[in-house]
Amino acid sequence: MRAPLSRELGIHVCGGRGAHSRRTPHELHDIGVRVGFDGAALVTASRLVAKVDSAAVQDGFDLYLHGFIVTDDGHWAVVQQGMNGDRRQARRYHSEGLESFVDAPHAAIEGEHQGEIVNLTDRYAEPSRRGQLDLLASVGPDRIVRELRGLSPTSDAPVAAPPAQPLLPHLVMPAHHNVRAGDANLGRLHATLAAAADAGPKDFADLLLTPGVGARTVRSLAMVAEIVHGAPYRFADPARFSMAHGGKDRHPFPVPITVYDQTIRVLKAAVAKARLGREEELLH
């Protein structure tokens, strides 16, 4: 819905797949200047929603699409999509009209339910979110890494000091999607925790926005918060819906025409009842 339709309709779609998603901040800033809303605030919202769906919710799906939809009057919604190559499954995350970025923020998550996962957006995860901030402020990175080392398969490995010079880019990924204790490089983790402690995040959202803090750091803090504060960090997968038709494995399965027709009839009936205000029937 880019120009010229965006100007006619007052709706702007920023971001997209892969490299296009990284253009979102620039696009939001330019639209804000042109239209007159606070582009910087929306850039922060874009970054935070991406961090929530990649670090606060760790469900095994890697984000590859980030779409930020904003209207001329400043209303916005974010649609992100993640892929799990091992399962050949995708899921979609919808965020809009948020009262909180970190406490049950999703309008919906579409995908197959994964059971119990690392879900720090659950309403019952507030003690863990609060405990992680307490760890950074009062315990410090040395104790956090020491506790984590006891949980790691490489517990006999010494904690290396942060490198004096940044290393050349070198990425080694594990064969699994979920983040485990053994996946954390304790030396780098120590440096990230020290930087986060120095930054002094005021709340969990601020922690997620701290440079260098990602899924591994959040998972590590959550594990130690469970040991020190007894605050659980694993809760039910917030996914609520699943795809009805088609597939994401490059081999869409055939769906009988009668199934499509029935789906259309159900959706039309739901829209008609909603217009008539028959909310009780829609709940069933």
Predicted local distance difference test score (pLDDT) of residue 29: 94
The answer on pLDDT for 28 being more than 60 is yes
Tell me how far apart the alpha carbons of residues 195 and 77 are, in angstroms, rounded to a whole number: 31
Tell me how far apart the alpha carbons of residues 243 and 190 are, in angstroms, rounded to a whole number: 41
Predicted local distance difference test score (pLDDT) of residue 1: 44
267: tokens are 């959706």
The answer on pLDDT for 164 being more than 70 is no
Tell me how far apart the alpha carbons of residues 61 and 64 are, in angstroms, rounded to a whole number: 9
User: Is 244 part of a structural domain of the chain?
Assistant: no
Q: Which domain holds residue 167?
A: 123-236
Number of residues in the chain? 284
Alpha-carbon distances, residue 100 vs 49, 142, 247, 256 (angstroms): 11, 31, 32, 41
Helix residue spans in 161-232 (DSSP H): 186-199, 204-208, 215-229
Residue 196 near residue 218 (C-beta atoms within 8 A): no
Q: What are phi and psi of 200, to 5 degrees?
A: 60, 60
30-39, 141-150, 173-182, range with the lowest pLDDT: 173-182
Question: In which residue are the tokens 């504060």 written?
Answer: 229
Total domains present in the chain: 3
Residues 163 and 230 in one domain: yes
User: Is 201 part of a structural domain of the chain?
Assistant: yes
In the chain, the percentage of residues whose pLDDT exceeds 70 is: 78
Tell me how far apart the alpha carbons of residues 154 and 145 are, in angstroms, rounded to a whole number: 12
Task: Look at residues 65, 81, 115 and tell me which one is the last residue of a structural domain.
Answer: 115
Average of per-residue pLDDT across 228-250: 78
pTM, rounded to two decimals: 0.73
In the chain, the percentage of residues whose pLDDT exceeds 90 is: 56
Helix (H) or strand (E) holding 280: helix 279-282
Question: In which residue are the tokens 């081999």 written?
Answer: 251
Residues 228 and 139 in one domain: yes
Residues 103 and 131 in one domain: no
The answer on pLDDT for 149 being more than 70 is yes
Average of per-residue pLDDT across 123-132: 96
User: Is 251 part of a structural domain of the chain?
Assistant: no
